[in-house]
Amino acid sequence: MNTAACIVVRRPDLERLLETVRSIATQVDTVVVVVDAGSDMLAAARALRGIALVVAVPRGTGAGAAANHGVRLLVEHGAEVVVRLDPDHVAPADMVAELVRRFEDPRVAVAAGVLGPVGAARPVTAGRHGGPRGVDACATSGSALRTDVWREIGGWDEELATDHLEFDLCLRVRQSGYVVLQDPDVVVGRPVRRAAASAPLHDLGALADRAHDSVWFARKHRGVPLSVRVAGRSRSGTAAAIAVQVVRAALGSRDDARGRTHAPARTHAHDHVPVHGRAAMVAALLRGALAGAAVRRSPERSAAPAPLTAIRHDRSRSAA
């Protein structure tokens, strides 16, 4: 089976990116790194020469569009399975072979590992965590997707940029009658990020993206029962949640700036956001929400996916 890897990068940390590519390059036939043209693409191309193909997308291209562009190129080169990795995650040895093996079951369209600290990756041990099982959704990084199913469902939704991107893809995979399989014994390493003592203001672009995606996800999947969506609320619930975030952002605590839905147990003077920062966060939330409400694509009133089939793969039997 022809396998490939797609890594989408906005602002490359070349050292980490090189480690990521090296961890996956020997496991697949082709690696494509999709780089935002607004970043240092030439430096990435030089660092990855001979290891991966580096391609550029226009500056500001969303994560979904960038991923679709990379997968489209790989499909043209014959890829039957594409593995996604975040640019600072590390694939464990034999990850691809273990995930691809799951596609022996034609019901499986997505096979994924789980995320853990770098260095936690370990050899697969039969039955250690109960074995692979069907799930409603999984993280994009460390997942393998059949390209025939990618074509069938139309790829990633290019309107989405945050975690809703993977929730949406997995939901549409399940609506098409396939299974998302997760193997808890395949651990993809990710760096442990330590909070700085003096954290900068929240990324306003990310704040707007989350508001946009929440609104669009609720509109797009309004015909799907909330119990099977994995993420998101009804349209009215989404509007109410964003209104609460706007009020909390206006009040100015850093916890609210990060989008938490609970009040901090204790507030310190340094936790407050300056007035100009509060206005910027409120504006970002409103801008994102209005953009999500203004998407011109007609949301599909699609039916709910079939109930998740109890699916477990016996490792020793599938390896035989």
pLDDT in tens, 156-207: 999 998 888 999 999 999 999 999 999 999 999 987 665 443 334 448 888 8
Q: Give dist(CA 119, CA 196) in Å, integer.
A: 22
Q: Give dist(CA 2, CA 123) in Å, integer.
A: 23
Tokens at 78, concatenated: 């014959």
Amino acid in the structure at residue 173: V
Coil, strand or helix at 96: helix
pLDDT at 203: 81
Q: Give dist(CA 282, CA 288) in Å, integer.
A: 10
Strand partners, 312: 133
Beta-strand runs (E) in 105-173: 108-117, 133-135, 143-146
Kind of pairing, strands 81-85 and 3-9? parallel
Coil, strand or helix at 6: strand
pLDDT at 253: 57
Yes or no: say if 147 and 75 are a contact pair by the CB < 8 Å rule: yes
pLDDT at 272: 53
Beta-strand runs (E) in 133-281: 133-135, 143-146, 179-190
pLDDT at 298: 59
Amino acid in the structure at residue 219: R
pLDDT at 251: 86
Q: Which of 250, 242, 257 shows the shortest CA–CA distance to 289?
A: 242
Over residues 48-61, the pLDDT tens digits come to 999 999 999 998 88
Strand partners, 189: 90, 116
Residue 269 burial class via C-beta count within 10 angstroms: exposed 0-12, middle 13-18, buried 19 and up: exposed
Give me the residues of the chain with pLDDT under 50, please: 121, 123-127, 195-202, 255-271, 301, 308-310, 315-320
pLDDT at 53: 93
Coil, strand or helix at 63: helix
This prediction's pTM: 0.79
pLDDT at 293: 92
Q: Give dist(CA 254, CA 277) in Å, integer.
A: 10
